[in-house]
Amino acid sequence: MIILDYNDKRPIYEQIVDKMQTLIAGGALEPDEKLPSVRSLAVELSINPNTIQRAYSELERSGFIYSVKGRGNFVRADEHLKEKQQRKLLSALEKQLISCKEQGITRENILASVDKVYEEVSNDRD
């Protein structure tokens, strides 16, 4: 479910937050679905439970999950979160596209890369 990149400069908790937001916005995690406990996810990822707790706190603060005392954390049912996540991703993509253009990468090369990624993802799901 979550793969950490230890070469990524971002803190581990941010990587977990981003991945969970993607899973929730993409529908891989259903509304009101129970998330793994802090302890079990920490064991699974071989990291400190405080890191998971920080990620869950950030997800709750941003409205992606909610907690029920004594029961755990659950995915929040909110269609606006999906739209918010998509806007965030598109904004990041636009910044990357500007960088690509500034580096002289042609529109055709960018579109070819987009097509390649979509084909690979489609093939992975088959």
- Over residues 60-103, the pLDDT tens digits come to 999 899 999 999 999 998 777 778 778 888 999 999 999 999 99
Over residues 45-55, the mean pLDDT reads 97
Condensed to tens digits (0 to 9), the pLDDT of residues 5-47 reads 999 999 999 999 999 988 888 888 999 999 999 999 999 999 9
- pLDDT for 126 equals 60
Over residues 112-124, the mean pLDDT reads 86
Element (H, E) at 83: helix 79-102
pLDDT at 57 over 90: yes
Secondary structure of residue 103 in the 3-state scheme: coil
Burial code (b: 16+ CB inside 10 Å, e: under 16) for 105-118 equals eeeeeeeeeeeeee
Residue 58 CA to residue 52 CA, distance in Å, equals 10
Asked if residue 73 lies in contact with residue 67, where contact means CB atoms within 8 angstroms, the answer is: yes
**pTM, 2 dp:** 0.71
Residue 64 CA to residue 25 CA, distance in Å, equals 9
pLDDT at 108 over 70: yes
